[in-house]
Chain A
C-alpha cells in the first residue's frame, strides 16, 4: 500500500481564498517520492499557485504520463479528477479531454523521459496545436523510477552517477517549445519558489499552450558533481532574466507602457503579466530574439530562467477549430443528432 491519506483537520486560523478554500484544500495525498526530491517542491508550488488564484479545485483536471514526475498529480489538488495515463502520451489524453470540455483547466505533468524521449512527438504536436494547458516538465536529466538511466535532456559531457559520460546532444525543451509555437514558455528551478509560483500562475491564466521546463534535481540518481541537473550546479548557473508578477484584471493597476525595469504584458483575459526585468536586453515577447538569447547564453554555460516567451495574442486549439463555447460533453441529442427527417433526405440523395 503506497497510498497515504493526509489528515483532513487543519488549524482554524488558516486563511481562506475567494473559493472559501484554504491552501490545504489544494493538497493531495502524501508524496511517496524520495526525501528532498525537486518534484515535491513543484507540487507545493502548484498547490500554492491554484490557491492564490482562488481556482475551484474541481474545475481542474490533472493528467500525467509515466515516471516519478507523473506520479505527482496524486500529491496536489485532491479534489480534482486525475489521470495517470501511459508513458509519453499525456499530451494526447489531455488534448482529447480539452476537446471534450473547454471550460476546465488542464494541467499536464510530465518528466524529461516522458516528454523528451518516448513522448517527444506528442509533446511537439500538442504544442503545435495550441492546446490550452499548463504543460510542466519536471526535468531532472535522469530516469528515476527505473533507477538512474540517462535521459535526453542530460547535457553532453555530463557524467552519470556511476561515472559514465553522456556523449549524446541534449534536447532543450524550451527552445523546442518556442519554435513549435507555445504561446507561454518559462523555465524555472524547483528550488526557487519565488520564481516558480508566479510562472505557474501565469501559465494557469494563459489561454493557449503554456509550457514550463522546471529543473528538478533527482536526489537519488542525479545530484552529484558532474551533473548539470544537481542542486549545486543549478544554483551556481541559474541566470534569471526576469521576475514575474501575475496581476488579475480586478486588481487596481496602472499599466507600465514605457520600457524600463518593468514591462507589462496584458493577456486577452485581462490578466497582466508584470515582468520585473533582470536582464535588460531580454524581450520575452520577441520569439526570434528570445531564441537567440537562449542559444547565446546556453553556449556560455548559463541556465536561463524566467518567463522566456509570451504571445500577446495567443490562440488555442478551440479557436483554430471554431468549436462552440458550450463544452462538447454537455451537448445533447438535439445538438448532435440531425434526426429522422434529415436522414430521409440523406437516403434520398443516395439513390
Chain B
C-alpha cells in the first residue's frame, strides 16, 4: 500500500454529530494551522437541524494558498457512526482514517488502502470526566490535541488560541489545556511519528484575516452607515443580521446606553423589506438580510421600491431553493430572481462579492449606490462565502470617505427656492432629486406611489407619463452600469482565444483551476464579473474571445441568460460550466469541465484549441 505523503497540502475532514460542540473545536484546529503560517480553508457542511444529525467540517491545508474546496479527503476524522460508510468511501486511496476505537470496528468496516489510526477516545474521556456534558465537550478538545500532535502543530500555538478563546473565563482555561495535553500525550506515545501528512511552519498567511462573509458584510453595513436593519431569520443569512447587532452594540452605543441604530426582527420578509423601504424613504440607510425564499416574499415591495425609486440594500445569502430546498447548501441560483425581481418591467442592481473582503467593501458601497441610484441594490453572497471562515485580505477604510447620499434636496436648498420636481430628469442621467419628509414647511413635499404619476409626482394614469417615467428608469439603469464595481480582468501569460467568465464564490476554485490548466498548456483569459448591470467590458471580453466559458453554481445558467439577453450576445458563443449539487465548486471540477470541452485530456495539452 502506498501511503500519501504530504507537507502543508492535504484535506482533513471531521465527521461529527451536530449539537456535540464540535464546531468550536474544529475551528480551533483550523486556526492553529493558520497560526503556523500555513493557509487553510475550512468549510462547514451541515444539515438543517440543531442536534443529532451528521455534520462535517472540511479543512483544506494549502501552503500555496488555494482556498477553494479541493474535493477528496486525505485524513478522515470519523466521529459519527451514522455516516461511517460514506465517510470511509470518501477517503483518497492511500489516505488515513482516524476513529474512536472504544468500541471495536470489524475489519469489514475498514479499507485496505486506507491506514487506520485508532484512539480509545470515549474510554479515555469517560475515565477522566464524570459529567456528561464535560465528556462531550472535552472529547472534542482531546481529539484536537491528538491530531495536532499527529500532524505536527506546535503545542504552544494551540494553547495560545485556547487562551485567547477563554480570556476572561480563566476557570475554563485550565481544563481545556488539560484535555489538549491529554490528547497530545496519548498521540505522542501511540500514533505514528513522524506522520506522513505534516504541517510545517511557513510564513504564507501574512496580514490576511480569517472571517466569514456574513460578519464581513455586517461590518460593511456598519461602516457604510446603515442605521436601520429589519430582518427575518433564515439560513444562511441570519448570522449577518446577528453580526450587525453585535457590531452595533459594540460600536454604536452611547455611554448612556442609547443606541445609534435600530434593528427589528420582523414578522416575515415582507415586513422586513417594508421597514427598509419606509426607513430609506425617510432618509435613513437601511438594509435587510435574507435568502432565496425571502426574496420571493419581497417581490411586490421590491417592485414598489424600483418604481417609487427608494434606496434599499438587500443582502441575499444564496442557498439551494425552495423553502424545503437545501437551506444549508450553497448555490448561485437567485441571480435571475433578483435581477428581475417583482412584477412589471423591473431591473435591479446586483453586486457579486468573491470573498469576505469584498463582502465588507461591497457591503458599504451598496449604500452609496442605493442612495445615488435611488433603487434597491442586492449584495449577492452565498452560503459558501457567508457562513465559512475564509482567509482574505484585511478590511481597509479611508477616513476621508464621506457617504454619498445622492441627489437629496434639503431644507437649505428648498429654502433657497431651487425648483423641485420629484421625477424630473434635470441632469440627463435618469436620476432625479428627492426630498425627505419634514424638510420644509411649504416646499418639497410630494406623494410617493408606484407608476401612476407624472414627473412632478402628481397622480396620473396617462400613457405618455408612464412611458416617460419608464424610459427614464431605463436610462438610470444605464447610468448604473458605469457606477457599479467594474469586472476584474486577468490575462493569461500567453495570448489565447479562450476566455472564462465567473463570479462570486467561484473565485478561489477558479484561481487554482487557471493555474492548473496553464500548467497543462491551456492558457485562458479570465474575467470576474462583479456587478449587474454589466459594465461594457463584459460583452467586449466575450467578443474578443473565440471560446468563452461561463462558470456558475446553478442549473439554469442564470448569469449567461442575463448576459446573453442584456448584451445581445449569441448564446452559442458562451459555453456554460454548471455546478449545482449544493457543495462549493472545486478547481478539479472546473479543470475537468474545461479540459473536456476543449477536447483535451490531461496529458496532451498543447495550448492550441480547436472549436
- From A85-93, A147-155, A188-196, A272-280, the one touching the partner chain is A85-93
B372-403 contact mask (Cβ, 8 Å, vs A): 1 or 0: 00000000000000000000001111110011
- From B219-227, B473-481, B536-544, the one touching the partner chain is B219-227
Per the bound structure, the CA–CA distance linking A230 and B255 in Å amounts to: 57
Per the bound structure, the CA–CA distance linking A99 and B446 in Å amounts to: 20
Do the beta carbons of A2 and B459 come within 8 Å of each other? yes
Using Cβ atoms and an 8 Å threshold, which residues of chain B touch A85? 274, 277-278, 304
* Chain B facing A: main interface SS: loop
Q: Of A78, A80, A336, which is in contact with the most chain B CB atoms at under 10 Å from its CB?
A: A336
Using Cβ atoms and an 8 Å threshold, which residues of chain B touch A80? 437, 445
Do the beta carbons of B209 and A100 come within 8 Å of each other? no
> Is A324 part of the contact surface with B, judged by Cβ < 8 Å?
yes
Using Cβ atoms and an 8 Å threshold, which residues of chain B touch A2? 459, 461
The minimal Cβ–Cβ distance linking B436 to chain A, given in whole angstroms, is: 7
Do the beta carbons of B461 and A329 come within 8 Å of each other? no
Do the beta carbons of A59 and B438 come within 8 Å of each other? yes
Do the beta carbons of A321 and B225 come within 8 Å of each other? no
The minimal Cβ–Cβ distance linking A337 to chain B, given in whole angstroms, is: 5
Do the beta carbons of A96 and B462 come within 8 Å of each other? no
A49-78 contact mask (Cβ, 8 Å, vs B): 1 or 0: 000000011110101000000000110001
Are A322 and B259 CB-contacts (below 8 A) given A100-B278, A338-B222, A346-B219? yes
A305-345 contact mask (Cβ, 8 Å, vs B): 1 or 0: 00000000000001001111100110111011111101100
Are A93 and B438 CB-contacts (below 8 A) given A85-B304, A347-B209? no
Report the interface size class on chain A.
35 or more
Are A89 and B438 CB-contacts (below 8 A) given A3-B458, A337-B223? no
Report the interface size class on chain B.
35 or more
Per the bound structure, the CA–CA distance linking A162 and B300 in Å amounts to: 33
The minimal Cβ–Cβ distance linking A159 to chain B, given in whole angstroms, is: 33
Are A321 and B262 CB-contacts (below 8 A) given A61-B437, A125-B271? yes
> Is A43 part of the contact surface with B, judged by Cβ < 8 Å?
no
Are A333 and B403 CB-contacts (below 8 A) given A82-B447, A96-B279, A100-B228? yes
Do the beta carbons of B278 and A92 come within 8 Å of each other? yes
Are A350 and B209 CB-contacts (below 8 A) given A93-B281, A100-B283, A336-B252? yes
Taking a contact as CB atoms closer than 8 A, the residue among B222, B254, B274, B284 that contacts A328 in the complex is: B284
Taking a contact as CB atoms closer than 8 A, the residue among B260, B266, B277, B460 that contacts A336 in the complex is: B260
Per the bound structure, the CA–CA distance linking A340 and B210 in Å amounts to: 18
Per the bound structure, the CA–CA distance linking A74 and B448 in Å amounts to: 10
Do the beta carbons of A92 and B398 come within 8 Å of each other? no
Taking a contact as CB atoms closer than 8 A, the residue among A3, A29, A93 that contacts B460 in the complex is: A3
Do the beta carbons of A89 and B222 come within 8 Å of each other? no
Do the beta carbons of B271 and A92 come within 8 Å of each other? yes
> Is B230 part of the contact surface with A, judged by Cβ < 8 Å?
yes
Per the bound structure, the CA–CA distance linking A73 and B459 in Å amounts to: 12
Do the beta carbons of A95 and B275 come within 8 Å of each other? yes
> Is B280 part of the contact surface with A, judged by Cβ < 8 Å?
yes
Per the bound structure, the CA–CA distance linking A129 and B264 in Å amounts to: 10
> Is B211 part of the contact surface with A, judged by Cβ < 8 Å?
yes
The minimal Cβ–Cβ distance linking B189 to chain A, given in whole angstroms, is: 33
The minimal Cβ–Cβ distance linking A93 to chain B, given in whole angstroms, is: 4
> Is B282 part of the contact surface with A, judged by Cβ < 8 Å?
yes
The minimal Cβ–Cβ distance linking B604 to chain A, given in whole angstroms, is: 44
Contact sample, A vs B, 27 pairs, CB 8 Å cutoff: A1-B461, A74-B459, A81-B436, A82-B448, A84-B449, A89-B274, A89-B300, A91-B271, A92-B270, A95-B264, A98-B278, A100-B280, A101-B438, A129-B264, A322-B259, A323-B259, A323-B262, A325-B258, A328-B260, A328-B279, A329-B282, A331-B225, A340-B396, A340-B398, A347-B207, A347-B395, A351-B208
**Residues of B near any A CB (own CB < 8 A):** 34, 205, 207-211, 219, 222-228, 230, 251-252, 254, 257-264, 266-268, 270-286, 300-301, 304, 394-399, 402-403, 435-442, 445-450, 458-462
A99-B279, A351-B208 known; 11 other A-B pairs, CB under 8 Å? A82-B448, A87-B300, A92-B275, A95-B274, A321-B263, A329-B282, A332-B403, A336-B226, A336-B403, A346-B395, A351-B34
Per CB-CB distance, the 7 closest pairs between chain A and chain B, nearest first, are A96-B278, A92-B274, A100-B284, A96-B275, A329-B283, A81-B437, A3-B459
